[in-house]
Structure 1
Amino acid sequence: MKNKVVFIGMPGCGKSTIGRLISKELNIKFVDMDKYIEDMTSKTIPELFEVGEENFRNFESLACKKLAEESNIIISSGGGVVKRKENIDVLKEESFIIFIDRPLEDLLGDIDISKRPLLKDGRDKLVRLYEERYELYRTSADEIIKNDKEIKNTINIVKKVIIANLNID
């Protein structure tokens, strides 16, 4: 059995919120990959993107490799982690990957685009990213969980899936 879980999905789908809450309930370490990258580089995500998206993606791939070495951990990935197959390959070795599938209408309704470098061009960009990435999320995931109801319902479903599929000490 696998010994860590990785949440994938669009920006604003609930990866970090769900991950934090479940990690507390199950007493498992939680890592937000974007925060991990900021700590690793001593730069903010927007600062890394200023140099270029490729620059950020290189650090993201490095973070995937480092986090793949840890055990008993819940990881909230960045929304674009699926853009590089190498990221999913390294994470999938010992991670159970859950796609938090939030409908586009819900994402458009409440995402704060001001804090998301790739979304600074507005909501049309979010639609394009959704169309570009949706199938990557689906094919990368071991489990797909809809986040279209109350967050408590989604958390309960995710928790059951984690308990059934992970070997957590």
Structure 2
Amino acid sequence: MTQSVFLIGPMGAGKSTIGRLLSQELKYEFFDSDKVIEERCGADIPWIFDKEGEAGFREREESVIDELTQQKGIVLSTGGGAVLRSENRQHLASRGTVIYLCTSVDQQLARTARDRNRPLLQTADPEAVLRKLFAERDPLYRSVADIIIETDQRNPRWVIQELKKRLKGE
């Protein structure tokens, strides 16, 4: 199997953690699209949002996802909003196996509570933001996913073993 694996889902679903572990298991190279954007810009995501707005960030994200999804045998963790652009959805769906790491808003709140690197959550009511994002994005995640797996209350190792089974078609 040299098919690439692309992880999608909301912030706090475990995409980076699961992606790193899965890439080790599959012996694939791991990429996190947000980290690649930060490395290329020499700036963090909040700074990019501040200077270029969400639209500027999404332009950068689309370019990085287009480039990375053309590689074979990688695991790619995408940002939570990557599915907002139809070009990203098309590249992800047509160039690899897409795994939707699904998680509840409660779990997202618990996992992102102290993370200052999430510009969309720097608000008085992060729960309302997460609920709105979930309502907008869940149908998009589902539309491109080949595999959907719930990560709430699940150990990353369990998720990896389950994904390995599903990727092999068991």
Q: Structure 2 CA distance, aligned partners of 1:12 and 1:18?
A: 11
AA at the equivalent of 1:146: E
Partner of 2:165: 160
Task: Please give the per-residue CA displacement for 1:80-126, whole angstroms capped at 9, x wherever unaligned.
Answer: 00100111102222211010011222112232342211111122211
1:3-82 superposed matches below 5 A: 3-50=3-50, 51-82=52-83
Instruction: Calculate the TM-score normalised by the size of structure 1.
Output: 0.90
Q: Structure 1 CA distance, aligned partners of 2:76 and 2:19?
A: 7
Q: Structure 1 CA distance, aligned partners of 2:93 and 2:106?
A: 29
Q: Structure 2 CA distance, aligned partners of 1:55 and 1:110?
A: 26
Aligned positions, number: 165
Instruction: Calculate the TM-score normalised by the size of structure 2.
Output: 0.90
Q: Which runs of 5+ in 2 are unaligned?
A: none
- Determine if contact 1:2/1:95 at 8 Å carries over to the other structure: no
Q: Structure 1 CA distance, aligned partners of 2:76 and 2:167?
A: 12
Q: Structure 1 CA distance, aligned partners of 2:27 and 2:2?
A: 17
Q: Structure 2 CA distance, aligned partners of 1:56 and 1:5?
A: 23
Q: Which runs of 5+ in 1 are unaligned?
A: none
Shift of 1:14: 0.5
Q: Is 1:132 paired with 2:133?
A: no
Shift of 1:127: 1.6
Identity of aligned residues (%): 38
Partner of 1:106: 107
Q: Structure 1 CA distance, aligned partners of 2:58 and 2:13?
A: 20
- Determine if contact 2:2/2:73 at 8 Å carries over to the other structure: no
Partner of 2:121: 119
